[in-house]
Chains A and B, each alone.
Chain A
Amino acid sequence: MLRWLIGGGREPQGLAEKSPLQTIGEEQTQNPYTELLVLKAHHDIVRFLVQLDDYRFASAGDDGIVVVWNAQTGEKLLELNGHTQKITAIITFPSLESCEEKNQLILTASADRTVTVWDSDTGRQVQRISCFQSTVKCLTVLQRLDVWLSGGNDLCVWNRKLDLLCKTSHLSDTGISALVEIPKNCVVAAVGKELIIFRLVAPTEGSLEWDILEIKHLLDHQDNILSLINVNDLSFVTGSHIGELIIWDALDWTMQAYERNFWDPAPQLDTQQEIKLCQKSNDISIHHFTCDEENVFAAVGRGLYVYNLQMKRVIACQKTAHDSSVLHIAKLPNRQLISCSEDGSVRIWELREKQQLAAEPVPTGFFNMWGFGRVNKQASQPVKKQQENTTSCSLELIGDLIGHSSSVEMFLYFEDHGLVTCSADHLIILWKNGERESGLRSLRLFQKLEENGDLYLAV
């Protein structure tokens, strides 16, 4: 690309050859996002996006403001000002069916050691809690009990009216980095290298007090736990900085599966490479998970991995999906996977079944295309290994979205309105399906014509 600008060549294909990164040309027939809208309201890194309802979402970031947007039109609906420092966590608190107050609430935690509750419809600041000893790093809502939890250096339980119900003792100076709900009124908190299971005791006839009890410490991770999500009712999954993926039973808190070298479809890949990977631990840290019924998708370093829960192994991977760390991934209903990265790009992948791989040897060039060509001379080796392991699926790049000029922190997918990405370049971009939008605009046009009575004027 630069080459032709400076000297003038024909097509810039050089990049693809130099880098193992899989690239896709300018022709992306399967990429539906042909329209974008840049939304600008933030003055600093935008880190969080949270969906409010079918058409609204809120964004928050280091500038301490929360902005509510219309995902359809890109219109800025509300700006919530109140925090003096960057926002560290944001979550929505849906209204109860029974409750008279239908308003959905937004909870935001900030580095100014406060948690603020907002009304998402009016933008009003409902309440503000500032009795924290430390920055709240994670928030979670237990909707069944109608309480919410805040995790900092300790864990606090609050009800809807923002009364502190109970709290734990000081857990650690690093604080809770992740928090999920598991069955039996339990929550799992990731604190440094360990996982702590807490049980919440709701008031019963015996005791009117809420209580929170430490049940168990799980110390199986070698390094800091970066990611923690629920897979289903029966299991949850954790990922650590050095690339350990552990699937836990949510009921008895035992390890169901442990994948240490899961990023490597060929375990006996030469040690040289393993060492290299380990040296750059950032390359294997697990930043984010997403999952569906069958698979757990992990963002490992710069790559993407698909771990099958039934087969208990990695079924597809893309070692260098991005130029830089993958920060967020999401699975779309149509077998598509979207990932965003520090390199400022968003990529759309499709999980495809590989047919009959074992039958005949595949030319190496084929795999080069898939991005295995990092070490070209070894290309043939993994092919054989792969055949043995029968990695039955592949992640195929079907499109990329280039718009942000800095790290894309997070994105949000709307079934009807497309994709919203937020980035360190202070921008939010709304990516839309151009054809569908065009059709919708036509519909609106004729609606307006009809309203104005212009439609049948001539008749």
Chain B
Amino acid sequence: MISAPDVVAFTKEEEYEEEPYNEPALPEEYSVPLFPFANQGANPWSKLSGAKFSRDFILISEFSEQVGPQPLLTIPNDTKVFGTFDLNYFSLRIMSVDYQASFVGHPPGSAYPKLNFVEDSKVVLGDSKEGAFAYVHHLTLYDLEARGFVRPFCMAYISADQHKIMQQFQELSAEFSRASECLKTGNRKAFAGELEKKLKDLDYTRTVLHTETEIQKKANDKGFYSSQAIEKANELASVEKSIIEHQDLLKQIHSYPHRKLKGCDLCPGEMEHIQDQASQASTTSNPDESADTDLYTCRPAYTPKLIKAKSTKCFDKKLKTLEELCDTEYFTQTLTQLSHIEHMFRGDLCYLLTSQIDRALLKQQHITNFLFEDFVEVDDRMVEKQESIPSKPSQDRLPSRSLEECPIPKVLISVGSYKSSVESVLIKMEQELGDEEYKEVEVTELSSFDPQENLDYLDMDMKGSISSGESIEVLGTEKSTSVLSKSDSQASLTVPLSPQVVRSKAVSHRTISEDSIEVLSTCPSEALIPDDFKASYPSAINEEESYPDGNEGAIHFQASISPPELGEMEEGSMENTPSQIDSCCIGKESDGQLLLPSSPAHTHSDEDGVVSSPPQRHRQKDQGFRVDFSMENASPSSRDDSCEGFPAYELDPSHLLASRDISKTSLDNYSDTTSYVSSVASTSSDRIPSAYPASPSSDRHKKRAGQNALKFIRQYPFAHPAIYSLLSGRTLVVLGEDEAIVRKLVTALAIFVPSYGCYAKPVKHWASSPLHIMDFQKWKLIGLQRVASPAGAGTLHALSRYSRYTSILDLDNKTLRCPLYRGTLVPRLADHRTQIKRGSTYYLHVQSMLTQLCSKAFLYTFCHHLHLPTHDKETEELLASRQASFLKLTLGLVNEDVRVVQYLAELLKLHYMQESPGTSHPMLRFDYVPSFLYKI
């Protein structure tokens, strides 16, 4: 963990020190006026002040053909989260920037309806009035009953922090792509099933019609056809056509995987093979299909229905819910993924960035980071997965920001300079846009730039924005291009482009059906004048003009608005929105829900049957997850486990929230959760090396541990030798009668214990039987029960017998028996006069110190000349003296500090050489050194 701990801690919302703030209140006249947004629970550093929602959330919306844009569900599904934020309005906004919807249907020159496998579009959208910025991910799902067979949906990550969205764009994009992929896969499966069913219906209808016609033919042998017969024949013909159409659609949907991979059309011969594959894939991926998920797949038991000649009006029928569209299993999986996303991007941007840098740096030290980092491997795998799996196409265009691209100094800048970071990200994106072969294409495009074409594209843009009635603006494009042209090193584009061109490039790119990325923002000035939305949209010049306002302008503006004004504006837009929807949609009954911004998700779930709450079983599973956490946890399956583990941390106060209410409740819950954790730990500690599953999200645990460690250091003057024992691999036995106290201290001290491998730390939180030599080989920190009765004598006897292997901290008598420590390392690590007050800060301090220590150990371990004789005649003594002088002079280690580095070096060697790490416990190393008894 490498970071600037204090900066992070400063910006991170968390509980204060143990002692509550008890100063007497100031007299009224002396009190300083509070921060204006304080009643909303904001702190002055929070950028969320203007937002109506308390923290980031994910919104799924649909552009319903019946009722227009409507919010479906939010994650987390908690009305507290989005508060008074108008979901309906925002759905309208985010759906209005979709470009894909108009794309499906009968393309000219094609006999059959053609399914377009459009890539999702990813857009950043800002609404300064609402104080909301969103990453919007549009996707289309297929529905046989829908207009043009498509249902446009979007998932939006909504945050009050614009920079967060911009900076995390790639990560968001990758994560949401996964979710979208999941939805679409389920949808394709369901759609295919639906098609097959429909085909059966049609087939049946055809036979029925056929027989009817035959009967009629026979019935009147006059030689001419009655009008009835002609009608029947027409009907038959239309059914035939319909069959062909549907067959074609089925082919198309089955051909999806192949087309996606190869990007070319299929020859019919391959078709069946692919179909088989597809069906196989669907069955294998879903072996335990329950009856209701089977709804769309064709079953032999299915009895075809007769299809009426006249199809029902689209308004009469009830549209399928998202869950129905996507197959329940995939749907729940998506929800899990989304809540994972929500959790992943929780907290302040600064915090996210720091932890990202952290992770990137940790990955570099893959040789040493097993020593003190928690489950880095798991983390890594998760990150790698995120980087590699989400839709390959995005990878060659949007490379994840690895460390090389984002050098530390550039990101480790103060909070004030994030702006430049945003720009640098943009540069990256644009650069990648014009990368490689596309570069050439683009140049030709530029030269043969057709204004008409451009207009077309613009028009296409506008189609999406009709309903919103507000102009959409390309945010930061000009800036980015200008920066781009200035920076020589990255000058892949030599022609300075106008924003228009850049945008057209993006649009044209999308038409060749690849990923499109556009960074859009709503012009704030126009957002306030929604009166004539029809007049406001179409001109590109308008956009250009509005550019100078920029996003900064939006922020300033927003700050100057007083809340009542905002409310008015809101109402105004509210009035406009429904009426506008009213005009083009039939669904009258849904107007009511649109006017109920307080609990839209709830109403939706009632009326539309959308499952808006994630399945509860995850919550229950969570306990199992904790208990079953074992050595094998680093296996790939743990990815899912950790996802399921998230709900337990929902009340995690570590993420930066403006809402005081929420942080208060989380504080209250906090103590409970810890006790819960510890009680679970007590049941599991016997089987598990470390009772605490240090899952990536155990920030709270870290903080707790840090705080208790800090307390220990302040309370006990002999903390240094105790910590030295832990660092040098001498088992520390914490002896005490009270299990809770012992456990607490053991958990706290565990942060100093180096791990053997990438698994749990060698810490046993509570033991009540006499210790054995095996225990010292296995555990480096043991909480031991002191039994007053004669039965406890055996425990003490064993302890005294093996005293040379242990340091013994007696909590009841406040004594410590352990070897002398005279180094300088631990005093720095554990200074009892430290100014650090917060647990998490101290934890980070410890981590950074230990990282420093690890790098010393690394140097010592991998210095060639220290361990191998430079020539044949060199004696071992000479080698030893060289090692000693290296440790002392080069690494600056004093006295016993040498032992610490030597111990870590041994662990490094073992870890490096182990083929399959973690299979065996390393040997017990010890020294024959006298122990001393320390008392308070």
Contact = CB atoms under 8 A, between A and B. Distances in A.
Interface of A: 1-2, 4-6, 8-12, 25-29, 31, 34-38, 40, 74, 399, 402-405, 427, 429-430, 432, 434, 437-439, 441-446, 448-449, 455
Nearest to A434: B925
Contacts of A9: 933
Given A26-B803, A402-B804, A449-B862, 13 more contacts: A5-B808, A27-B930, A34-B928, A37-B777, A38-B774, A399-B928, A402-B801, A427-B773, A434-B926, A438-B909, A441-B906, A445-B862, A445-B867
Given A4-B933, A438-B906, A446-B864, A36 B777 contact: yes
Contact of A27 (B774, B808, B928): B928
A445 B909 contact: yes
B799 interface: yes
Interface residues of B, number: 46
Contacts of A443: 867-868
A124 B503 CA distance: 76
Interface string B758-793: 000000000000001110010000000000000001
Interface string B795-816: 0111111111000101001010
B352 interface: no
Contact of B796 (A2, A11, A25): A2
A11 B819 CA distance: 12
A232 B643 CA distance: 73
Contacts of B735: 5
B909 A5 contact: no
Count chain B CB atoms within 10 A of each CB in A12, A399, A403, A448 and give the residue with the most.
Answer: A403
Contacts of B866: 442
B725 to A, nearest CB: 14
B773 A38 contact: yes
Interface string B906-936: 1001101100000000011111111101010
Contacts of B926: 34-36, 434
A2 B774 CA distance: 21
B925 A26 contact: no
Nearest to B795: A5
Contacts of B801: 402, 405
Contact of A25 (B777, B927, B930, B935): B930
B817 interface: yes
A445 to B, nearest CB: 5
Contacts of A37: 777, 923-924
B925 A4 contact: no
Nearest to A430: B923
A399 to B, nearest CB: 7
Contact of B864 (A31, A38, A455): A455
25 contacts: A1-B800, A2-B796, A5-B808, A10-B933, A26-B931, A27-B928, A27-B930, A29-B928, A34-B926, A36-B777, A36-B924, A37-B777, A38-B777, A403-B773, A429-B773, A434-B926, A438-B906, A439-B876, A441-B913, A442-B861, A442-B868, A443-B868, A445-B912, A446-B868, A449-B862
A5 B797 CA distance: 10
B902 interface: yes
B909 A442 contact: yes
Contacts of B930: 25-27
Interface string B244-265: 0000000000000000000000
Nearest to A445: B909
A6 B796 contact: yes
Given A1-B803, A5-B808, A405-B798, A445 B913 contact: yes
A27 B803 CA distance: 12
A35 B931 contact: no
Contacts, number: 111
Contacts of B813: 8
Contacts of A432: 923
A449 B908 CA distance: 13
B356 to A, nearest CB: 27
B867 A446 contact: yes
A5 B864 CA distance: 45
Contacts of A10: 933
Q: Give the interface SS of chain A, mostly helix, strand, loop or mixed.
A: mixed
Contacts of B902: 438
Contact of A40 (B774, B862, B867, B923): B774
Ranked 8 nearest A-B pairs via Cβ: A1-B800, A442-B867, A28-B928, A37-B923, A441-B909, A403-B773, A26-B930, A27-B930
A445 B913 CA distance: 6
A448 B772 contact: no
Nearest to A435: B880
Contacts of B800: 1-2, 5, 12
Interface string B852-892: 00000000011010111000000010010000000000000
Given A402-B801, A405-B772, A8 B867 contact: no
Contacts of B927: 34
Contact of A26 (B796, B905, B928): B928
Given A5-B799, A446-B868, A405 B773 contact: yes
Count chain A CB atoms within 10 A of each CB in B803, B817, B928 and give the residue with the most.
Answer: B928
A8 B815 contact: yes
A27 B777 CA distance: 21
A441 B866 CA distance: 13
Interface string B641-660: 00000000000000000000
Contacts of B933: 4, 8-11
A26 B923 contact: no
Contacts of B909: 438, 441-442, 444-445
Contact of B817 (A4, A25, A403, A404): A4
Nearest to A448: B913
Contacts of A446: 864, 867-868
Nearest to B906: A438
Nearest to B801: A402
Contacts of A8: 810, 813, 815, 933, 935
Contacts of A402: 801-802, 804
Given A1-B800, A1-B803, A25-B930, A34 B867 contact: no
Nearest to A399: B928
Nearest to B912: A445
Interface in B425-451: none
Contacts of B924: 35-38
A340 B553 CA distance: 85
Contacts of A34: 925-928
A8 B809 CA distance: 12
A195 to B, nearest CB: 41
Contacts of A437: 923
A328 to B, nearest CB: 19
A8 B10 CA distance: 44
Contacts of B802: 402
Nearest to B775: A38
Count chain B CB atoms within 10 A of each CB in A1, A402, A444, A445 and give the residue with the most.
Answer: A445
Contacts of A38: 773-774, 777, 924
Nearest to A432: B923
